[in-house]
Amino acid sequence: MSSWLDRWREYFLSWYDEGAVEEKAREAAEFACRYVDGGVVSVSGGKDSMAMLHIIAAMCREDVDVFHWDHGPALMPRQIEEEILQNIRAVAPRARLVVRRYSLGVSERARVDWRPWYREFFSTLEELGYRHHILGVRADEGKRRRVRGRVVDRGRWVEVHPIYSFTWRDVWAYIFRHGVPVPRVYYVYAQHVGWDKARLTTFHDREFEKYGNQIDAVFMWREKNYREEKKRGVETGGDIGRGFQL
């Protein structure tokens, strides 16, 4: 594992210069600075949003507002959620962190019915009242994102994508160069599905069944049998045992 990771680290570090990632990061920071006042940096804890948060905190402003959405224990194992919050605090210690938890996220229903998620998520965004939402969306991620554009006016708020022109190589190069912390589960998935396809999404979620999440049951088997009654003082599946073996 370590030699595999070392080889990739070497590759990404060389890509940092070759791909002019430093220049892209400066341009992204300059762009984001225009929207930070009255705006919020939305951070899922994944590689893109963590790299973006690092760029903004290091090159723009440290005391930004950061919004993080906690999907709840049924969809996001608690050790990963804790890791995400630690990472955000490490990257932007002076940020004002706003965390909201999905109310259905403690229920197994959250794994099969995702419509309430969208309703609650968007009403939370509205309730927060920020004009600009700064997101780690990249054009490289897919056709729908490519046609979306760098600034999208949603009416009630405006979505801003500072790292829109970054590729997956650029993001990993930035992460390795600056030591940006990302959840360790990335390395488990990257080893098996590739660095370009390793993404942080909810786990054991039927919404992503079409996108090959069958491997969650093999790599994240501890969390597969999440049960609601465990929230009543007893541990959840994810909190027991030794966690990931890296």
Binding region for another protein (CB under 8 A): 143-144, 192-193, 209-215, 217-219, 221-222, 224-227, 230, 237, 240-242
State the minimum distance, in angstroms, from the CB of residue 65 to another protein: 34
State the minimum distance, in angstroms, from the CB of residue 124 to another protein: 27
| CA-CA-CA-CA dihedral for 160, 77, 73, 163, to nearest 10 | 0
Tell me the C-alpha distance between 49 and 225, whole Å.
29
Provide the pairing of β-strand 151-153 with 158-160. Answer: antiparallel
Q: Among residues 170 and 205, whose Cβ is nearest to another protein?
A: 205
Q: Among residues 105 and 237, whose Cβ is nearest to another protein?
A: 237
Q: Among residues 155 and 218, whose Cβ is nearest to another protein?
A: 218
Tell me the C-alpha distance between 90 and 87, whole Å.
5
Q: Among residues 5 and 59, whose Cβ is nearest to another protein?
A: 5
Q: Among residues 117 and 226, whose Cβ is nearest to another protein?
A: 226
State the minimum distance, in angstroms, from the CB of residue 238 to another protein: 9
Burial of 234 (0-12, 13-18, 19+ CB in 10 A): exposed
Query: From the CB of residue 151, how many other CB atoms can be counted at a distance below 10 Å?
Result: 14
State the minimum distance, in angstroms, from the CB of residue 9 to another protein: 20
Q: At 32, phi and psi to the nearest 5?
A: -65, -35
State the minimum distance, in angstroms, from the CB of residue 53 to another protein: 29
Q: Which residues are paired to 98 by β-bridges?
A: 67
First to last CA, the chain: 7
Triad 182, 149, 68: Cα angle to 5° = 35
